[in-house]
Amino acid sequence: MKDIYKVFEFDLITKQIEPYCRTEIGLNKIRSLVMFDNEDDLKDELSHLKEMMGYIVKYRNLKITPHKDLTNMFSLIEKGGCGNIDFFYQVSLYLENAKDIRNESSKDDSFPFIMELIRKLEECDSLRNEIERIITKDLQIADNASPLLRDIRKSLHQEKSGQQKIINQLLLKYKDYLNNERVALRNGAFALPIKAHYKSRVDGIVIDESDTGLTLFIEPSEIIASNNKIMRLKEKEKEEINRIIDELTLHVLNHLEEIRIDQEILCYMDFLLAKANYALDEDDIVGELVDERIISLKGARHPLIDKKKVVRNSYILDKQKIMLITGPNAGGKTVSIKLIGLCIIMHQCALALPTIEEAKLCFFENLYVDMGDNQSLLDNLSTFSGHISSLKEIVKGTNNRSMVILDEIGTGTSPLEGEALAIGFIEYLHKKDSFGVLTSHFDGLKNYALENDYILNASMAFSEERIEPTYHLRLGVAGKSYGLEMASRLGLSNDILNTANQYIESKKETDKEITLSLLQHKLEENESLTLELEEKMNEANKKLLEIEKEKKNLLALQEEIRMNAEEEKEKIIEETKGKIDAIYEEFKRSESYKLHEIITAKRNLDLLHLEEEEEEEESISLKINDYVSVSSFGARGKVIRLNGDKVTILTDTGMNLNCKTNQCKKVEKVKKTTNKTYVPSYKVDKKVPLECNVIGYFVNDALPVIDKYLDDALTARYSEVRIIHGAGTGKLRSAVHDYLRGRKDIVSFRLGGLGEGGVGATVVTLKK
């Protein structure tokens, strides 16, 4: 039997996934994908894929860097072999990648499998640092890999630099014997171009001569000595490098198990990420492996057909385990059975499926297929013989956990015998309780399916108006072949077609056939309406999913903006408090700062969070004579006036306080109350009264007194005080009010009310 992976073109699917791989092992895993033979292992792998797709959507891709397969090198080192520079560099890449993923991945316990993989990664900092110290970015042994190597290379550099000086001296020394003033490079050695008849004048070895023989290229003895020294230094360099590599190999050997674990985890992550990213780009969904014997592929499309052209169809087998697909040639029957087979393979290779809903499939131990021309010249088999050979092999292995896919069953012999053979094989699959999907053009097979409820009739729709297939699958309806209609469209003679139609009509004589024909027509009409409804529902669901996705994105963006704003606010507050603390410390050493300004600023910062929360609170229901507290003013009192969300409170100190209802909180009235004041954070030398009397003062004398009094009141953390200035001409009152407007630590001020001095006094509300 043919290779099922090739029949269903699964290799083209893996080729589409390959570009997503970053590691050599991950790529090989994709290329060698085969169906799981263990149900539990498949269920785990599907769960891992679904989890990885969720992680990518919620956060981002885990960053896997390109990696080579080091498995063979691991075995070599374990057997006593030695590593090379490229191997050490690849090891450092694995360790660095492991460290980056541990540091940069989002820690979220709702992705347990991924978090467990990340926790198992080993960083091996000492080994990684040692490799990075010894191996340079251009894959060379660093000069500082060892003190001896550094000294050797320093000597090499000096010797090579000294050679140039020697050459310059020799050019000057033998200038009269030179054929030209340039030194030549012959056989990798520096040589002087000496005139032949001066050969004996130069101490050295002739290593080449010109074509004419008039010029001899002589390597001077001084250069020979220098080259010999360079060769000895290079030998020492090579020996030291080998020693360094031996030490590094031993270091790697001591951490080989950790490195092997990193390779295994990172390459598996790469394999999983490749499958996940391919699925997300293709809008595929991970199917569910179910215990019930069922196939449910809703809105499935063939992944190898252009998305803009492909038609989605649903394929459902539950109580009916066998599906017979009929319909016109080139109508999509073969594409449908290939899609079903491909989805089974993809699912059991733990890949997501191209469906619009989560597919449900049971586990299949065997997948059998007979499709295409089975004729074999080598085996001397006809098409029919090849077909029978495939059926024999299927019969040997099929059971209740098998799926059998047959294209044009019973072909290659007479229609009557073909129908009989197909019916016999379908009956056999039913007895074995096996799943089967078959295509056929036999009318007898369609009628047999209508008479037996264990067979699900299905057909590819055909537009009789346009005389062309629509590629839509209709479940529960047998289809016509539309061979004569297609022949007419292709221009076949009407005489031939008329004769053919008359022959068909003569065959439809029995009541049974007429009844089946009428029933089939009604089923087709019903299926057409159902198909139209499904298309509209699918379109509506698609739009709904897009709206939900956009809503999630907006909510995520809103939360991100809120979090950023909160972080920025906290940062500003902390910076400001730091500055104020610095000012406060400076105040202890200098009297150039006003203490009340510092206290006011610090108090405002401390209450910032509280004020924001209070502003967000909804207004409470208040009525006249309710007893409330106002935490932002540090006051308690009785409600005496209500105006919308504004409230006037007669405080326990006898003052009127205006605020908003959302700043108030109902409390129990206490029998004895004391004036609410804030205890200063330092010792106050004298008692500060609640009012300042400047009656009889001139303006210039009164203002300094008021200024000092307000500073003392702020220091004592009073929330409200009274300035008594008298009614008089109003000049002093106006001056006091102008002064109060200029101070930033004044919340508000007003003329006194009943019992507060009337127009002869001003009640001042202070910042805290």
Break the chain into its structural domains and give their ranges: 14-124+255-282, 145-245, 288-507, 509-575, 608-666, 691-766
User: Can you tell me the distance from the alpha carbon of 697 to that of 706, in angstroms, rounded to the nearest whole number?
Assistant: 11
| 193 close to 217: Cβ distance less than 8 angstroms | yes
* CB-CB neighbours of 192 under 10 Å: 24
Q: How far apart are CA 343 and CA 349, in angstroms?
A: 10
Architecture of the structural domain at 145-245: Orthogonal Bundle (1.10)
> 540 exposed, middle or buried (CB, 10 Å; 0-12, 13-18, 19+)?
exposed
CA atoms within 13 A on the CB side of 493: 3
pLDDT tens readout for residues 22-41: 999 999 999 999 999 999 99
**Rounded mean pLDDT of 709-737?**
87
Q: How far apart are CA 586 and CA 345, in angstroms?
A: 77
pLDDT single digits (tens) 146-164 = 999 999 999 999 988 888 8
Residue pair 248/130 in contact by the 8 Å Cβ criterion: yes
pLDDT at 674: 40
Structure tokens belonging to residue 717: 């953390």
Confidence category of residue 481, pLDDT binned at 50, 70, 90: low
How confident is the model at residue 602, as a pLDDT?
Answer: 55
pLDDT greater at residue 481 or residue 365: 365
Q: Which of 420-427's residues contact partners 24+ apart within 8 Å by CB, and which partners? A: 423/448, 425/391, 426/322, 426/324, 426/455
Residue-level pLDDT at 558: 77
CA gap 260, 273 in Å, rounded: 20
State yes or no: pLDDT of 353 exceeds 90: yes
- Whole-number pLDDT of residue 586: 64
8 A C-beta contact, residue 325 and residue 439: yes
What is the average pLDDT across 333-345? 94
pLDDT at 650: 83
Q: Where are the alpha helices (DSSP H) in 255-308?
A: 256-282
| pLDDT bucket at 377, cuts 50 / 70 / 90 | very low
Phi, psi dihedral angles at 639 (to 5 degrees): -70, 125
pLDDT of residue 511: 44
Q: Which residues contact 12 (CB under 8 A, 6 or more apart)?
A: 304
pLDDT, one tens digit per residue, over 83-100 is: 999 999 999 999 999 999
Q: How far is CA 720 from the centre of its chain?
A: 58
Q: Please tell me the distance from the alpha carbon of residue 180 to that of residue 375, in angstroms, as a whole number.
A: 81
Q: Is the pLDDT of residue 524 over 70?
A: no
**Average pLDDT for residues 762-766, to the nearest whole number?**
92
**Spatial distance between the Cα atoms of 709 and 328, rounded to a whole number of angstroms:** 102
91 near 131, Cβ under 8 Å? Answer: yes
What is the pLDDT averaged over residues 184-200? 81
Q: In angstroms, rounded to a whole number, what is the distance separating the alpha carbons of residues 360 and 70?
A: 39
What is the structure's pLDDT at 374?
Answer: 47
pLDDT at 670 (0 to 100): 63
Burial of 685 (0-12, 13-18, 19+ CB in 10 A): exposed
Give CA separation, 516 vs 328, 439, 479, 719, in Å: 19, 20, 12, 96
Amino acid at 436: G
The phi and psi torsions of 510 (rounded to 5 degrees) equal -80, 150
Separation CA 471–CA 329 (nearest Å): 11
What is the model's pLDDT at position 554? 80
Report, as an integer, the average pLDDT of 365-372. 87
Give CA 83 to chain center in angstroms: 36
Mean pLDDT throughout 754-762? Answer: 81
Residue 503: is its pLDDT beyond 80? no
Which residues, other chains included, contact 396 with Cβ-Cβ below 8 Å and sequence gap of 6+? none
The CATH number given to 691-766 is: 3.30.1370.110
Give the pLDDT of residue 611.
46
Q: Where are the beta strands (DSSP E) in 522-603?
A: none
Instruction: Give the end-to-end CA distance of the chain in Å, rounded to a whole number.
Output: 90
The H helix count followed by the E strand count for the chain is 22, 23
Q: 116-131 burial, b if ≥16 CB within 10 A, otherwise e?
A: ebbeebbbbeebbebb
pLDDT value at 192 more than 50: yes
Find, among 539, 764, 561, the residue nearest to 655 by Cα. Answer: 764
Residue 315 has pLDDT above 50, yes or no: yes
pLDDT digits (tens, 9 = 90+) for 431-477: 999 999 998 878 778 888 888 889 998 887 766 555 466 778 888 77
Backbone angles phi, psi at 288, to 5 degrees: -105, 130
pLDDT at 209: 83
φ/ψ (deg, to 5) at 637: 175, -175
CB atoms near residue 694 (< 10 Å): 19
User: How are strands ordered across the β-sheet holding 746-751?
Assistant: 691-693, 720-724, 761-766, 746-751
Higher pLDDT, 263 or 407: 263
Contact of 288 with 359, CB cutoff 8 Å = yes
pLDDT tops 70 at residue 568: yes
Q: How high is the pLDDT of residue 127?
A: 95
Residue 479 pLDDT exceeds 70: no
382-388 mean pLDDT: 69
Amino acid 445: pLDDT = 82
Q: Which of 42-51, 518-527, 567-576 has the lowest mean pLDDT?
A: 518-527
Q: Quick one: pLDDT band at residue 487, thresholds 50, 70, 90?
A: low
Residue 407: per-residue pLDDT: 87
Helical H segments across 298-414, by residue range? 333-348, 383-397
Could you tell me if 544 and 305 are in contact, meaning their C-beta atoms sit under 8 angstroms apart? Answer: no
Token pair belonging to 712: 């003392």
The residue behind tokens 């009557």 is 416
pLDDT band at 482 (very low <50, low <70, confident <90, very high): low
Contact 660, 619 (CB under 8 A): yes
> Other C-beta atoms within 10 Å of 382: how many?
13
Task: Answer with the residue of higher pLDDT: 222 or 441.
Answer: 222
- Angle at the Cα of 716 (from 713 to 718), degrees rounded to 5? 60
Sheet architecture: strand order including 189-195: 184-186, 189-195, 215-220, 204-209
- Range with the poorest average pLDDT among 287-301, 530-544, 739-753: 530-544
What is the structure's pLDDT at 587?
Answer: 57
Rounded-to-integer distance, Cα 63 and Cα 59, Å: 12
- The pLDDT, as a whole number, for residue 596 is 53
DSSP conformational letter for 759? G
Q: Between helices 71-78 and 256-282, what is the axis angle to 10°?
A: 170
Cβ atoms of 387 and 374 within 8 Å: the answer is: yes
pLDDT digits (tens, 9 = 90+) for 127-146: 999 999 999 989 999 999 99
Token pair for 609: 């969070």
pLDDT at 747 over 50: yes
Distances (CA, A) of 500 to 494, 496, 612: 10, 6, 88
Q: What pLDDT is attached to residue 202? A: 85
Residues 6+ apart with CB under 8 A from 302: 310, 335, 338, 339, 342, 354
CATH numeric code, 288-507: 3.40.50.300
Q: Is 648 exposed, middle or buried (0-12, 13-18, 19+ CB in 10 A)?
A: middle
> What pLDDT shows up at residue 20?
96
Contact residues for 511 (Cβ-Cβ < 8 A; gap 6+): none
CATH class of 608-666: mainly beta
pLDDT at 309 over 50: yes
Which one has a higher pLDDT value, 596 or 726? 726
The per-residue pLDDT of the chain, averaged, comes to 82
H-state helical runs in 105-182:
112-120, 125-134, 147-173
| Stretch 341-351: mean pLDDT | 97
CA angle 329, 334, 335 (to 5 degrees): 115
Do 734 and 717 meet the contact criterion of CB atoms below 8 Å apart? no
Antiparallel, parallel or unpaired: β 215-220 and 204-209? antiparallel
By three-state DSSP, how is residue 472 classified? strand
Residue 698, number of CB atoms within 10 A of its CB: 11
Q: pLDDT-derived band of residue 80, with 50, 70 and 90 as boundaries?
A: very high
- The predicted-structure confidence for 592-636, as pLDDT tens digits, reads as follows 445 455 555 555 555 554 444 444 444 578 888 889 888 766 678
Query: Which percentage of the chain shows pLDDT scores above 90?
Result: 40
